[in-house]
Structure 1
Amino acid sequence: MAKWIIGAVALVAVITVTAVVAVSCTKSSGGSDKPTAAPTTSGAPTSDFASANDTGPVSVITEDPSCAPWLPIVNTLAGSQDNGWRQRDPAIPAELWSPELRNQYFAVADAMRQGADQAEPLAKLTTHRVMRQLYEQFIAYSRAYADSIPTYTQADDQLGVTAVTLGELLSNICQAINFGSASARAPLVPPAAGPSSVAPLGDPSNPAIFLRSVDPTCPDWQSTFDDYNSNSAVTTWLKTDPNLPVSQWNPEQKAATAEVIPVMTDLADRMSKLGSRSSNLTLQDFASLAVQYQRAYLQALPTYSKQDNYLYDAARFAPGVILGACKAAGTR
């Protein structure tokens, strides 16, 4: 099962259609199965945004019309990084780049701008408020990273880390839809409380980064995941094979999973409390998204199949966005 290193996702991540490979020390669920067709939606939106009337609680997303166009966009972006850029040292500032390294950075910056431009209509197409916010933030952080390249320093890498994490999250949400794990597990998850207010509709052509300054909850997000990552039940469970369905688990894997369930449950509760403490409405929605996918994964464990790992990856990348944004706050 993929290791939960929140906020430390390498910018060298490769996002693919069939699976997400994000952190060098993670294990992917594979996923050679053919995805099921995503359902279509109907009905005319009441504004330019199909999600304009979505003011309810965040939930596990079981269909979204933006997923089909999103996956080719993110795959093209990933392919643009096959120019040696993934092997770079992000600590080297722009003033010390070799001509070859400079060309690599600028080529990736151009690709991130193109990806952001292509994501603009998806922010209007999605029927879900939180997906709209994810697209908007992918656009904002991708452009901020690209803008930083002429005067790049190591601190700017956090902008790119957050952009990549957003891309990972969107891809795993879509893959959970395509492979059927979202629709299979969503009905089992208790609904979240509805928000008292939601972030207003913005302009997807020029979205603002949602954390311009460090949120008061940022230190507690970090300490929460420091605690989680160091828990012995988690480190033992991480050694299990996510490709095996529950019917093939050996006694050791069953025991490790039983040990980690209360730790994961506690994590979901802590994330819920952290989200409710923030006054940032977008952060609140991202926290709720993390909690709902975490609880969906927990519901999946008694009848686990490898497709459920997309729920797990969505659950870990959602708070990764928050922690990446916390670290990038004030960079640009």
Structure 2
Amino acid sequence: MTLPPPQPGGHGPYDPGFPGGQPQWQPQPAPRRRGSGWKWALGGVALVAVIGVTAGVTVSVVDNDKSDGRGNSAPTGASHASGGTTSDIASANDTGPVAIITEDPTCAAQDPILRTMANRTGDGWDKRDAAKPASEWTPEVRAQFEEAGTAMRSAADQMIPLAKLTPHRVMRELYEQFIVYARAYADSIPTYTAPDDNLALVSNATSSAISHICGAIGNGSAAARSPLVPPLSAPAQVAPVGDPADPQRFLEKPIAVCGDWSSAREQYRHDMIEWNKTDPAIPASQWTPELKALSESVATVMSGYASRLQELGERSGNPALGDFADMLAQYRRAFVVAIPTYQPADNYLAMVPTRLEALIETACDALDG
């Protein structure tokens, strides 16, 4: 499956009616590639993810490949936060503040998995009618859904060693949420009804966030901008380390912030309409006076929005949701500081928070099913 072409009339967010529209599953951008084909993904939700499987992904845990949560090396010997025993989970001791990730040993391994995923779902399922229940499927449609479910389950299984290998707590949480929601969607297929599509949308947003975190690393934007973002404080609590092979959903019952989260995103989409019509391939050095003025105004909006979602994450009382909110806030702030000297590679920094915002919103929607 090839990447979608730039949208006509500018490079606005690729958003086919989210959250009700159908996701276009696609692989992450290749590491180190710079190009103009990526969309802003600032005001809307680009439904980008991948479903599939590669055979024999091999990862090896290097003893000194531990991290302090900021992409920096930390002492070896990670252990479970609860018991202090030796663990094969590299992020077990990462209890520090959430920060922009500038390196991660799992990025190379997740890329071929996600690219293969895309090929497994490009034969009709990606254009499915999500509203039609399984009881109304034709044999052809049922085969497409079953293939997608098989691909998602296989991909989830291959993400388990990556969840153990990453030294970053939030990256592990993202791998785990992809695993649990991809499996849940696969499980739903025999008796599928429309609300089950939210499970696919969650796994979609999660894998997309992982992809673009790695894209920001590979294209250098994470390392270039992260020193300019003020650090956060460590969270009051972090989610306990569980078994990546059998993760639990980070949202298992409705929480009060879900409605506020959706409202904040809707307002932000409205506020960013003009910005989303602009072309992300144009660096700041070539911006017109009008675009410079627009960039200054939206920078204020972005900063306020980042703080609002971070506050909702804190208010949720959910450690994983709080981590996702902290991460999206920091990546959006990184994009804000990049605006005066914007380069096309900085667009990866904008894509990460958009995917994380979608992850939380669709997880809230999945509770209604």
TM-score, normalised to structure 1's length?
0.90
Please name the residue that 1:273 is paired with: 311
Query: Which amino acid is 2:97 matched to?
Result: P
- 1:113 and 1:93 map into 2 onto residues whose CA distance is 20
Please name the residue that 2:321 is paired with: 283
Query: Which amino acid is 2:201 matched to?
Result: V
Conservation of the 8 A alpha-carbon contact between 1:13 and 1:21: no
**Count of aligned pairs:** 317
C-alpha distance 26-139 of structure 1, shift in aligned 2 (>3 A): closer
User: Mind listing any 5+ residue stretches in structure 2 that lack a counterpart?
Assistant: 1-10, 31-37, 48-61, 67-75, 79-86
Conservation of the 8 A alpha-carbon contact between 1:212 and 1:330: no
- Are 1:264 and 2:287 counterparts? no
Deviations 1:137-191 (A, max 9, x none): 0000000000000000000000000000001000000000000000000100001
C-alpha distance 156-22 of structure 1, shift in aligned 2 (>3 A): farther
- Are 1:42 and 2:60 counterparts? no
Query: Which amino acid is 1:305 matched to?
Result: Q
Q: 1:169 aligns with which of 209, 225, 228?
A: 209
Conservation of the 8 A alpha-carbon contact between 1:214 and 1:326: yes
C-alpha distance 125-170 of structure 1, shift in aligned 2 (>3 A): same
Query: Which amino acid is 1:3 matched to?
Result: P
Please name the residue that 2:335 is paired with: 297
Q: How does 1:1-332 map to 2 (within 5 A)?
A: 2-3=12-13, 8=19, 10-18=21-29, 42=65, 44-46=76-78, 47-231=87-271, 234-329=272-367, 331=369
C-alpha distance 13-286 of structure 1, shift in aligned 2 (>3 A): same
C-alpha distance 119-45 of structure 1, shift in aligned 2 (>3 A): farther
- 1:138 and 1:15 map into 2 onto residues whose CA distance is 15
TM-score, normalised to structure 2's length?
0.82
Q: How much does 1:255 deviate? A: 1.8
Q: How much does 1:56 deviate? A: 0.3
Give the alignment's Cα RMSD to 1 decimal: 2.2
- 2:14 and 2:305 map into 1 onto residues whose CA distance is 12
Conservation of the 8 A alpha-carbon contact between 2:163 and 2:171: yes
Identity of aligned residues (%): 46
- 1:198 and 1:263 map into 2 onto residues whose CA distance is 29
Deviations 1:252-306 (A, max 9, x none): 2112211211111110110121111011111010100110101011011111000
Q: How much does 1:16 deviate? A: 2.1
C-alpha distance 130-155 of structure 1, shift in aligned 2 (>3 A): same
Q: Which has the higher helix share?
A: 1
- 2:187 and 2:45 map into 1 onto residues whose CA distance is 30
SS at match of 1:203: coil
- 1:254 and 1:22 map into 2 onto residues whose CA distance is 16
Q: How much does 1:45 deviate? A: 3.9
Deviations 1:57-83 (A, max 9, x none): 100000000111011111111111111
SS at match of 1:54: coil
- 2:46 and 2:200 map into 1 onto residues whose CA distance is 22
C-alpha distance 291-22 of structure 1, shift in aligned 2 (>3 A): closer
- 1:2 and 1:22 map into 2 onto residues whose CA distance is 6
SS at match of 2:277: coil
C-alpha distance 292-223 of structure 1, shift in aligned 2 (>3 A): same
- 1:324 and 1:182 map into 2 onto residues whose CA distance is 26
Q: How much does 1:27 deviate? A: 8.6
Please name the residue that 2:53 is paired with: none
Conservation of the 8 A alpha-carbon contact between 1:145 and 1:157: yes
